[in-house]
Amino acid sequence: MSNPILVEVTRGKLVESVHRGAFAVADAKGALRLQAGDVERPIFPRSSLKPVQAVPLIESGAAAAFGLSDEELAVACASHSGEPMHTTRVAAWQERIGCSVADLACGPHRPVHEPTAIEMIVRHEKWTPLHNNCSGKHTGFMTLARHLGAPVAGYQLIDHPAQSMVEKTLKEMAGLSGALPYGVDGCTVPNFALPLTALARAMAQFADPSGLAPSRREAASRVMRAMTAHPDLVAGTGRACTNLMRESRGIVVKTGAEGVYIAIMPELGLGAALKIDDGAGRASETAIAALLIALGAVRDDGAAAALARAAVPNTRGVAVGERRAVFEAFGK
Amino acid sequence: MSNPILVEVTRGKLVESVHRGAFAVADAKGALRLQAGDVERPIFPRSSLKPVQAVPLIESGAAAAFGLSDEELAVACASHSGEPMHTTRVAAWQERIGCSVADLACGPHRPVHEPTAIEMIVRHEKWTPLHNNCSGKHTGFMTLARHLGAPVAGYQLIDHPAQSMVEKTLKEMAGLSGALPYGVDGCTVPNFALPLTALARAMAQFADPSGLAPSRREAASRVMRAMTAHPDLVAGTGRACTNLMRESRGIVVKTGAEGVYIAIMPELGLGAALKIDDGAGRASETAIAALLIALGAVRDDGAAAALARAAVPNTRGVAVGERRAVFEAFGK
């Protein structure tokens, strides 16, 4: 059985390409509200895991001990674009905990924000691990290590206490037991695989933290406060996550590599998780927007609508096709 | 019925993403030698159509009248990387036919060759339509228009004689009749949709031109000579097309946007065409390499093998998964 087509890309009158995928929408107890495709196969959440990866940082007391601001926590949950607003905050935070860019386990990559990349090229500057979209998350792990009195070096390894705490937190929030399969993420930290149903349930805990122990409830609420207050820090200028969150105060959305997206909808008390089979980011953006519209979680005439149905331009800027969600697949 | 999985991408021990697709391998009479998936649905060949689009340029006598070199014909068949070796040749050719960059209907885009793009950024230069990967093909259309005494302006429109000749040539070589559905390509010219079986058959005419009328046979042979002699001009430094052709003298491969690839195999007298459902270039490269290996058309330990199975590195350059062809799907 193959997953349903969630997104199609047309040219002229024909469908040129299609993207299949699966998604699950669950409440905090794990009851499924909406689903499509194979939602039980383990998938890697990649960067959509970041809200969960930030929970131990707060729950452990590390965030309070080091006086982390909401802005810093937003960057800890970010796949940021490497703009100055991101990198300067990460660098200042590292200095406060007695660390530096040299302690980052993640490798350098070109800033996602193209004007920043171009400015750097013109100035003959090299990108560093600070520009890695995950540098905030890594600085969170370094802060947690400091607070635990554990070595900062090796914070990215599977047997470091920081990673053990992430796995334990994820399993508890997702309602899973036993060791989770994992792979190494692009930024070198472990990424744990789990079914979309379980990932959606974990995200629903942020939307409705009433069933969590007080310390975790507080941590989950702090993650939500930080992310919703600073959508520009969670992604960056012009990014889908930023635009969707900015327009829909209260909702959190977070992209992950290889076609993953999660959504946290406090007003509905629901979490959502989706994965495009082929890993395409153009499709995951389109699909999460359609899902939010189908759930009535966002306006149907703003940023989400613009993502759910967008013109495909040629190199002269003329529309020659469109990228669009197959709304029927989302029950709408 | 969904198409089979042709390529998978792993992380750790799990398959993270998959790419479905279809392909057809045919001889010049249209007999299918190998196939997978839905090979009868019309697909857009995109830039994989370029060898066919170059045929009228030669068959009409335009190439001879303007003394086009094999290098210029190779660039006419190229999705080039915008390196100086490409753009200087296109510019010189345009000057010879009394045209310039201002006559190009295609829009500007960043050169595919990143070092060229970076040099331009550092020098504060803007990319122009010359850097468009299709500028050679467009210059071919302009040359054809000049030779026919037709206006150069509008050469990209569906009712311009240059485009009518392309459609007629394609239909004859593909064994099709009636008007073909078309869309507008990224570079603004019409792109005609046809089944993979028909596209493979059209490509087989280049591999075995014995059934073609003499003038077309000569044109097809000239296209083959130009492309195989100059693999660096057909794509560019480090590109899959260039590497595959350089290693496998005599074979032509040509990529097209949205996950298309064609191959022309003179020793086997066969043509091949494949389309990845989701449009991913990483998958079409992997799949065409696997298909060439499965057909015994290339060595199984060189450039094709490196494309058919490649490490997925993290940002520190450590392999954390792999991208690999599902060889069973290719009958091997």
What's the gap in Å between the CA of A251 and the closest CA on chain B?
27
In this prediction the ipTM stands at 0.97
Separation between Cα atoms, residue B50 and residue B94, nearest integer Å: 18
- Note the pLDDT of residue B129: 98
**Chain centroid to CA A81:** 13
pLDDT digits (tens, 9 = 90+) for A185-227: 999 999 999 999 999 999 999 999 999 999 999 999 999 999 9
Longest dimension (CA), chain A: 62
Give residue B327's identity as a one-letter amino acid code.
Answer: F
- Note the pLDDT of residue A299: 87
What's the gap in Å between the CA of A326 and the closest CA on chain B?
14
From A44, A107, A321, residue closest to B183, measured CB to CB: A321
The dihedral sign for the CA sequence A74, A80, A81, A86:
positive
- Note the pLDDT of residue B1: 79
Name the residue with tokens 């000579």. B225
Percent of chain B having pLDDT more than 70? 100
- pLDDT band, residue B249 (cuts 50/70/90): confident
Q: Which residues of A touch B44 (CB under 8 A)?
A: 11, 14, 16
State mean pLDDT over A258-279.
98
pLDDT digits (tens, 9 = 90+) for A56-91: 999 999 999 999 999 999 999 999 999 999 999 999
Whether residue A9 and residue B258 make contact (CB cut-off 8 A), yes or no, is yes
- Check pLDDT > 80 for residue A96: yes
Nearest Cα neighbor of B26 from B273, B221, B224 is B273
Separation between Cα atoms, residue B294 and residue B201, nearest integer Å: 19
- pLDDT band, residue A249 (cuts 50/70/90): confident
Name the residue with tokens 């509008």. B154
Residue A292's φ and ψ, nearest 5 degrees, are -65, -40
Using the CB atoms, write b or e for A231-264: b if 16+ within 10 Å.
Answer: bbbbbbeebbbbbbbbebeebbbbbbbbbbbbbb
Q: Which residues of A touch B259 (CB under 8 A)?
A: 17
Percent of chain A having pLDDT more than 70? 100
- Check pLDDT > 80 for residue A125: yes
- Note the pLDDT of residue A300: 84
Contacts of A144 (CB under 8 A, 6+ apart): A56, A57, A60, A62, A155, A161, A162, A165
- Note the pLDDT of residue B299: 87
